Amino acid sequence: MTADDGKHNFWAFGIAIFFFGMAIAGFMNINTIIPAFAARLGAPPILVGSMVAIVHVAWNLPQVFAGNIVSRAERKKPVLLGVIFTIRPLIILFAVLVFVVGGSAPWLILVALIGLLVVFFGGDAFAAMAWLDLLGKAFSTEKRSGFIGTWLMLRSGGIVLVSGLIGIILAQIEFPYNYGALFGLAGISMMISALSTTRIREVPAPEGQQSSITVPWRGFLPHLLRLWRDDKRFSSSTLGRIIFFLSMMSYPFYVTYATIELNMPDATISLFVLAQTLGMMASSFLLGRLGDRLGTHRVIFIGTLLALSGHALMLMVVLLGLGSGTLVTALLVWIYVCTAVGDNVRILGYTVYTLDIAPANQIPIYMGTAGTLGAIGMLGPTLGGWILEVTSYAGLFSFALLVTLLSMWIALRLPSSRSSLIAEPTTTHPLPTVTGK
């Protein structure tokens, strides 16, 4: 790859990530916009609460199968473009449906919304495997973390800007047309991202390595078991990913403790959101640079250590019975900065680590398997809610702290992901049940 290719791909990937983020974390945010829309459409509370779970299940579970399918393609870019230009226009079609139906049939819009989430995120599971393959080959491990960190930092800044526009649309336009407008903007952002994706230059596999691999389905499970057994970096990092995701079980309950138990005004929530956003921007840049200099295993450890400080401070607030005040508000601001760091550990830590260690012809298989197994950790908030129900906030925050300590112990033992510092795992070589191209 030439220097011109690297510069070209930096902008192509960066613009694609920026506008994808505007859609997925802004205009159709799965944690705020989608549940609120479902509730306004008359969905029962259990369905509203399940909207995020629907997204995670639709996106994470197919990844292990998507990885094996995508890995068979000699070139991954045609696969990626075929998927995204099939599923992303569906968002615009859904926005049109909202404007056509209006308030006459909210049940129809609700059914269409659920269908959109399943089809879009299920399809995006395949797109993500091809995307990560392109990303893994486009940039070296010494530059990849910094580039991703820069993109995420700019994306966070963009989300801050569009949040004001979202508020205006929701306040000034009649329901459900206000949500239709948001999905329309999300669809437009997705298509701009797709157009930028067409500009990505696919980099061939390193000399001497296969660009694709075919694992027969009858031998796929044995292949994954061998991968888990033989590549200790993969098995250790995937286990660490699951445990770290579980440690985030207490995150949704910080705001409930602050507003209900401490009687903090709802206006304080905006301060927490600001702290989280600024924390995301700062940690994206700093952890990205750290990954370039010291490796992603250090990103995981230092990020987990910072997340641990947030868990410890939250437990201290509860155990000491600290009431609302300047000190507690300041502590909660730092705690929300730590939650942002935790979110970045998932991307700049575990995702990039897996990308670093994956053989060039097995990137989709590695990423898909890690993504599907990592979905176990997504049960964390559900487990956290159950622990809170049967114990107390102190019980929940104590358990989350213990899980984070376990996660940090695993992070401390992770070897470097840099191939120059450690021998390649035996699974980089073709296995008896595998045919390469």
**pLDDT tens digits along 101-129:** 988 899 999 999 999 999 999 999 999 99
Q: Which residues of the chain have pLDDT under 50?
A: 420-437
**How many Å separate Cα 145 from the centre of its chain?**
15
pLDDT score recorded for residue 334: 93
**Partners of 435 in the beta sheet?**
214
One of 3.40.640.10, 3.40.50.800, 1.20.1250.20, 1.10.3720.10 is the CATH number of 3-202, namely 1.20.1250.20
Q: Which residues pair with 214 in a beta bridge?
A: 435
Q: How far apart are CA 399 and CA 420, in angstroms?
A: 38
pLDDT at 434: 45
Q: Give the pLDDT score at 427.
A: 41
Q: How would DSSP label each residue in 12-47?
A: HHHHHHHHHHHIIIIIT-TTTHHHHHHHHTT--HHH
Q: Are 338 and 309 in contact (CB under 8 A)?
A: yes
In angstroms, the CA 103 to CA 179 distance is 12
3-state secondary structure 334-403: HHHHHHHHHHHHHHHHHHHHHHHHCCCCCHHHHHHHHHHHHHHHHHHHHHHHHHHHHCCHHHHHHHHHHH
pLDDT at 208: 62
Q: Assess whether the region 3-202 and the region 217-415 belong to the same CATH fold.
A: yes
CA-nearest of 200, 185, 414 to 297 is 414
Domain regions of the chain by residue span: 3-202, 217-415
Q: Is the dihedral of CA 232, 227, 345, 361 positive or negative?
A: positive
Output the CATH code of domain 217-415: 1.20.1250.20
Residue 70 and residue 76 in contact, taking contact as beta carbons nearer than 8 Å: yes
